[in-house]
Structure 1
């Protein structure tokens, strides 16, 4: 449904525990979690995204550890005490360059995590169990299937479980149903990294992202070639999240489907520490100039401790807060934005770029592609572009529903 003038965008953080990173589930300390949540709430944020580690919670296909589920519920209850709502990502899956897959899917037990009937049944039971454990909590937003699980399905992953688009859709449908069975009526969705929008041979497609689940998740990272090509202050860099939001809206059947900017961050050295606040403010301002944005969830809450080894360098410094809980400039910037809580009523974007309907041609939408660069040129000229699928470019009803009055081809943008 369209937002009303009384609606305000949600602001939150992807919760990265300050002690032990996501390995904290192995030595769960509720007092340490509470201290982290205090520092997040002090920024004026209203929700967190939480990451159980799949093999820690389900080490055997028929064993979902009750104690781990209890700890997840305790974390959610601690968040509620601080006015924070909670979204839970189930299948971790992939986090900050590390893969976490249970032993019962690997090596001697190697099975395709998207198509093997036993594996998928185990995933469904796991997601259903987590959702059911939190279903009665008023601060439980709902489940995200997992974090960027599409990276397991194609290159550049070094050992992918390859599937077809049809198999990807069948898998998504099955696991989303499991979440709904566990917690009926909550906001359940799935989330892919940007290969779903940009990579021609990726089996998870833009149509799936924009049509399955209760909202479209966007993960915007400018280290994908955007900042390298356009620089830290380039229009394309500061508008990358807005571009992905508008691209997602082209593929949605519902012209007012909610879009969740679920991951966005300021990665060094492409975005130096001294520029993080300016990047944060510019990125969020551009995103809030798009219609139907449900919320902005920054990656991440706390820096990764330097005592932990082997992370890519950029992963150590993405926090709104330092590892010891001090507010960083980017955190202060997001806190200022969240405090304003402005009414969320952007004007319609009246000019739309045409996007090819064929997902095998989606690289035109990637950094350097014709659609991407045309959007950047239009944004630099102050045009506030939208995007529309080629098959809808002459659909007067669809265009009117989105407020689009002019349709242009990428090649027509000078």
Structure 2
């Protein structure tokens, strides 16, 4: 227990690294609540990252934000950050509806971009953004959708127990207690591309696609919940969706942003088809089969807490009539707060057990900017596919796609 408290304490108050003279200087567009968790705190321990500037529509708010987080420069507008030659990269934690425009503007200004998820409001915007000609030239700016949880060692350890072609069913759920979000929150503002699928369910969709290592071919159903007050009727407060994948597997996703006060960690549970296990010790006429279920508890904020459960159910049976002779279950649990702890092929990768998923993400972002190898990356095509899945669910729900920006 003491080690867990110390790990979490260090994650939120990491040791401060001595900054290199050529460190990447970030500007933040918007004094958003997510910025300290997503970038400012992780940057403290990275020797190649300096948070140099912030801008917000409210200059007073931006000044207070800068003072609180020891950010040297406060700019009067987002454009001023993009025009600042000392800024190498920008972090965009703006409302969803503004992601597309300011990502495009930033790339055209020659800045590297760390873009809060979801990357855009819909697949149309994603197709334009991730296919910008400015991204195809030599020494092009780096663009990354900030799906922080996908960089954490626990998720890759979890995936190591999964055979995508054998997956028959996936269950995912996530939640936010209702006390954290009121009706006026941007999460429930349609014009700002709000909705539970956009704000939280996108995590479910992302991990499902990683499990199948593929994209869904159909959304079979999507049942949204709404306030029904005539104001927020196009924004889902919660949803339950079901998808079919090319291998015939079914995935279910459920999210609520009006959940119980008692917080429940996110969960991804994967059921494999029955497979025959080679066992030369068995007599002729007998076969051994296994059905595997793998569960990751805490797939969104694994750096706080997570657990990977692997349950293998074995049966020895007659080949002719499939009559069971013997059955048993073997269960093991794992954790992986660092790649060293994940072991195996991951053991030599960098990281400390107190690193947040955001810190792992920042490590790879810097590596890509520096032209170094990255162990994991969310490619532009992946982000585009992600928005296709979100659109698929919104179309099935009857709520309609989130609005497309007029900016070009």
TM-score w.r.t. the length of structure 2 is: 0.25
- Look at both structures and tell me which one has the larger radius of gyration over its CA atoms: 2
Instruction: Point out the structure with the larger strand share.
Output: 2
TM-score w.r.t. the length of structure 1 is: 0.25
Instruction: Point out the structure with the larger helix share.
Output: 1
